[in-house]
Structure 1
Amino acid sequence: MAWPNPFYRRTPNTRECWGYTFELTDEHLTPEECEPLKHSYDVLGEQVLDRLNELSPPPKKDLPRGNSRFVDAKDVVGQEVHNDGVPKAEEDALEDKDKADEKGTQNIKDASDEKGTQKMKDAPRDLYVILQDHLDNDELLQRFWKEATTVPAWVDWEQIARGQDVFYRYGAANLTGLAYQSLLGGMGAARVVETLARTGGFSTKVARSRLFETTQHILQCTKSVESIQPGGDGFASTIRVRLLHAAVRNRIFKLAESKPSYYDVQAWGIPINDLDSMGTISTFSATLIWLSLPRQGIYLRQQEIADYVALWRYIAHVIGCPTDRFATAAQAKRMMEALLLYEIRPTETSKIMANNIIKSLEHQPPGYASADFLTASARWLNGNDLCDELGLMRPGIYYWTLMAGQCLFFSLFAYTYRFAPTSWGWDRRHIDMLKKAFYQIIVHTKYGLKGEESRFEFKYVPEYETITEMGEGTGDQGEGKGGIERRNFRTFVLGVGGWGWGVGVGVWIGVGVVRRVWGLF
């Protein structure tokens, strides 16, 4: 929670925004410096997406997903379109042709190949695999690959490994911060939510899956040094996300070209621009370090801070994001502060997105947390000012005690493992255990991704009529659930009881000492 500091010495440069107080300096980004970043973006990534779609065109049903240039937006305005954005007349013609082809070839199909063919049709389109398949024969793809795989001089793999350990050392608190502050609190960024709302990917029915997919990416990036190095799972997922960003940007920009009212490029900037990408890296690194964890009672050591920032600076390099503002921990902190000051401006769309996230998570496994507790989590991490602007309800005092119990639970275990002697191996075993447990829960359980790793294909396609609206809750409100709330309540009661016992013992000892001293005179 954003507790006020009565000893903070204010100056003319003191700024306070959303419960966070800092000193604005000449080294912070200014609004004038932010403006060009809203109109610059990963040009090379978009060029590569275009080339991949030329070399391996997406299936008919994915035409607008791979590259919007296959169907220019100005050609579909005024025509009847199907949900995938293809003009009806064009789609009908394609379907007629397909039917004729199927009829003519049906008799010569080998029955033994039918099963394998169907399997190929059902497999998701993987742009990373297509990139690998055509890499040797294309100069543009080679240039992209060389840029992404060239390890910058400032990368220290031992430091990257330590940064990955930081994520799991405070794993539960980090995941809480990512969900309720980085993601939900991030919905206060007015420009960013305009892009997210146009994908439809944050309706109540799919927001939870989107959260799991994002978490899968983070877990792959932190699994091991080999995973984030060129060719590893984390590296591959980062390239897939980079190409997905290019596809979304391309699609929205094309739609806005023919219908400017759909997306205001002048006011909001290019979709998924450099400033947006820097903001994402900041919320996954600096926001956790200086907002999420301290508000849960956890403070990182200076070396841990430097290591964790270095990890995300390297991820920024691979994903095509400017990295200079993350060169040091101090620069990353100033980047976070500038974004808080200039970019967090909640709108009505922000309210819809934030409430949809709560509704998509309430009464869901494994914790089956209530909407009141989820909202208390958001308010504890983001403060009441921002959450009021996001239109979140105000939970009762009981749910605040649950959050206090959760913070006590997280910090107790975090500091226990951190301060245990290295020779005991507690910290290492704790980190290795959480790596396996998190991946199992997020990817392999039936309430996670059901054992299917996301390939970050273009599933949520922007359309003129696609604007995320306020949804209904999707959770099962069965009895006997809400285990996370019971755990937090027990921790709170034990914590208060332990504190009271400690105070009582301290008073008893103090009184005894005073009596002994008094008896000497």
Structure 2
Amino acid sequence: MAWPNPFRRRTAKTVSHYGYTFEWTDEHLSEEDAHKLRFTYDELADRVLARLDAISPPQKQPPSATATSTTEKASSVESEQSKPASRDLYALLRDNKDSDPVLRELWDQVTTVPEWVDWPQIGRGQDVFYRYGGPNLTGLAYQALLGGMGGARVVETLARTGGFSIKVARRRLFETTQHVLQVTRSLDALEPGKGEGFESTVRVRLLHAAVRKRILGLAQARPSYYSVAEHGVPINDLDSAATIATFSSTLIWLSLPRQGIFMRSAEAADYIAMWRYVAYLIGAPTDFFSTPSRAKAFMQSVFLYEIRPTQTSVLLANNIITALHHQPPGYASAEFLSASARWLNGPQLSDALQLPRVSLYYSLLMLGQCAFFAFVSYTYRAVDAWDRKKIEVLRKVFWQVVVESRYGLEGKTTDFDFNGPGLILWGLFQHVVRPQLHWSEISRCRSCFKLLPARESTRMYGVHALII
């Protein structure tokens, strides 16, 4: 939890923001430099998207999703299978790269491995995600994502894509988690031009270009829709790098410590290196992740400049709670979701997001989960054979639950297209970190948890030994 430290020595360079305190250094980003990054973006991806639109024009979208009548909705379900397949922007890029110099430029960029990439280190970084699997997913869900809704500018983009409205939030979050699992699945998954993690990352890059084009086009037609001067270019360089930071730096130096877990220095370096390569593929600035200290300083800078909750922040943060509570397979209560979010984000930011306060009972549940996570994480990493086995099991379990199971994506991996509103920016998977799930509930989704016996009276803490 974000406990205040009464013994902390404060200096002229001590900075505090929403309960998070750190020391300012020369590696931190100045406010002026941060402001400049709001108006720079992945221009190459935009040029590529224009070429792909010429090759395969995007389907026209209905003028308003809310204008569809009940009868029309019913008929649309019947005709769902007759709809034309959505565009696969990655496939279009791959198949037409030799016929257009702009497409070739992007293809050559993403398939050229930077000299700073160390493949064994990338592999170790992928393992780190699963070594702390449960705590990492908890941090991504309740701090990186939900707490990230405190970013005043970013939520303006999210609100305009509808990606975190109540109706679609749950699936969008599963799709985002799918991307995280794809880039951490194996070294082969990041093989240039072939790996599924490589492909999905380039797809997300092109999706971001499509979102940017859509928002800017609507803003040009109706200036009140979105203000570039106020919020910056949608999905700009600062946003993209901050997204990478939420998957990496935020987990290492905020989420895990608040759960009582501290990575080794070598683990932090490996994990940052892995996400730096993903940043390269997705078109985000990579220099901020050249060293662990720079990555930490960038994360702290973004937290200081960007986390300023608005009413839109409040709406989207609470949408996540509403969309996820009492959902299978965890059936987590809204109170427990709120307790998790308040624990990881601290009282100041949680109050600013108007997250409901919870009883001592739910706070103690969260404390018990953190204690269990810490005990198992430290125990398993101390024995190499146990560590390897846990990483191997979690890779399979996470994929089964998120992608293959009927509670997740039902075996239908997303192509990250842009057929209507939706935006993939942050990851979430809350269902395997619910501390009160009965074995009887898990036994009903045995296709997801093939390793688990059916025990009717045993509480979820037994499951944590497998998933964390």
Q: TM-score, normalised by structure 2?
A: 0.86
Shift of 1:483: 7.0
Match of 2:322 among 337, 353, 359: 359
Shift of 1:135: 1.5
Report if aligned partners of 2:336, 2:362 keep a CA contact under 8 Å in 1: yes
Partner of 1:326: 289
Match of 1:252 among 198, 211, 215: 215
Aligned-residue Cα RMSD (Å) equals 2.3
Match of 1:215 among 168, 177, 181: 177
Match of 2:301 among 329, 338, 351: 338
Shift of 1:416: 1.2
The secondary structure found in structure 1 opposite 2:16 is strand
Match of 2:239 among 276, 279, 294: 276
Shift of 1:125: 1.9
Shift of 1:122: 4.6
Question: C-alpha deviations, 1:29-72, integer Å up to 9, x for none?
Answer: 111111110001000001111101111223xxx235xxxxxxxx
For residue 393 of structure 2, what is the amino acid of its counterpart?
M
Structure number with greater Rg is 1
- Tell me, in whole angstroms, the C-alpha distance in 2 between the residues paired with 1:51 and 1:491: 49
Identity of aligned residues (%): 59
- Tell me, in whole angstroms, the C-alpha distance in 2 between the residues paired with 1:210 and 1:364: 14
Partner of 1:166: 128
The secondary structure found in structure 2 opposite 1:206 is helix
Match of 1:452 among 401, 406, 412: 412
Report if aligned partners of 1:369, 1:482 keep a CA contact under 8 Å in 2: no
Residues 439, 428 of structure 1: alpha-carbon distance in 2 compared, 3 angstrom cutoff: same
- Tell me, in whole angstroms, the C-alpha distance in 2 between the residues paired with 1:491 and 1:179: 19
Residues 481, 122 of structure 1: alpha-carbon distance in 2 compared, 3 angstrom cutoff: farther
Gaps of 5+ in 1: 65-80, 86-117, 463-478, 493-521
Residues 302, 244 of structure 1: alpha-carbon distance in 2 compared, 3 angstrom cutoff: same
- Tell me, in whole angstroms, the C-alpha distance in 2 between the residues paired with 1:175 and 1:150: 31
- Tell me, in whole angstroms, the C-alpha distance in 2 between the residues paired with 1:407 and 1:182: 17
Shift of 1:166: 0.2
Note if 1:132 corresponds to 2:129.
Answer: no
Partner of 1:48: 48
Report if aligned partners of 2:272, 2:295 keep a CA contact under 8 Å in 1: yes
Partner of 1:377: 340
Residues 459, 179 of structure 1: alpha-carbon distance in 2 compared, 3 angstrom cutoff: farther
Report if aligned partners of 1:346, 1:389 keep a CA contact under 8 Å in 2: yes
The secondary structure found in structure 1 opposite 2:28 is coil
Partner of 2:263: 300
Alignment of 1:12-411 (within 5 A): 12-58=12-58, 62-63=59-60, 82-83=63-64, 122-230=84-192, 231-411=194-374
Residues 122, 482 of structure 1: alpha-carbon distance in 2 compared, 3 angstrom cutoff: farther
Report if aligned partners of 1:2, 1:380 keep a CA contact under 8 Å in 2: yes
- Tell me, in whole angstroms, the C-alpha distance in 2 between the residues paired with 1:483 and 1:178: 24
Match of 1:413 among 353, 370, 376: 376
Report if aligned partners of 1:379, 1:387 keep a CA contact under 8 Å in 2: yes
Note if 1:3 corresponds to 2:3.
Answer: yes
For residue 126 of structure 2, what is the amino acid of its counterpart?
Q
Report if aligned partners of 2:144, 2:247 keep a CA contact under 8 Å in 1: yes
Report if aligned partners of 1:401, 1:489 keep a CA contact under 8 Å in 2: no
Report if aligned partners of 1:191, 1:268 keep a CA contact under 8 Å in 2: yes
The secondary structure found in structure 2 opposite 1:16 is strand
Gaps of 5+ in 2: 67-79, 423-436, 443-457
- Tell me, in whole angstroms, the C-alpha distance in 2 between the residues paired with 1:141 and 1:441: 36
Question: C-alpha deviations, 1:76-134, integer Å up to 9, x for none?
Answer: xxxxx73379xxxxxxxxxxxxxxxxxxxxxxxxxxxxxxxx97955332111111111
Shift of 1:213: 0.5
Report if aligned partners of 1:368, 1:482 keep a CA contact under 8 Å in 2: no
Report if aligned partners of 1:368, 1:481 keep a CA contact under 8 Å in 2: no
- Tell me, in whole angstroms, the C-alpha distance in 1 between the residues paired with 2:65 and 2:88: 19
- Tell me, in whole angstroms, the C-alpha distance in 2 between the residues paired with 1:19 and 1:460: 38
Q: TM-score, normalised by structure 1?
A: 0.78
Partner of 2:387: 427
Deviates more, 1:118-127 or 1:237-246: 118-127
- Tell me, in whole angstroms, the C-alpha distance in 2 between the residues paired with 1:240 and 1:482: 39
The secondary structure found in structure 1 opposite 2:60 is helix
User: Matched residue pairs, number?
Assistant: 422
Shift of 1:482: 11
Residues 334, 122 of structure 1: alpha-carbon distance in 2 compared, 3 angstrom cutoff: same
Report if aligned partners of 2:215, 2:234 keep a CA contact under 8 Å in 1: yes
The secondary structure found in structure 2 opposite 1:383 is helix
Deviates more, 1:119-128 or 1:174-183: 119-128
- Tell me, in whole angstroms, the C-alpha distance in 2 between the residues paired with 1:376 and 1:355: 13
Residues 413, 480 of structure 1: alpha-carbon distance in 2 compared, 3 angstrom cutoff: closer
For residue 433 of structure 1, what is the amino acid of its counterpart?
V
Residues 491, 171 of structure 1: alpha-carbon distance in 2 compared, 3 angstrom cutoff: closer
- Tell me, in whole angstroms, the C-alpha distance in 1 between the residues paired with 2:258 and 2:357: 18
Report if aligned partners of 1:199, 1:461 keep a CA contact under 8 Å in 2: yes
Report if aligned partners of 1:238, 1:319 keep a CA contact under 8 Å in 2: yes
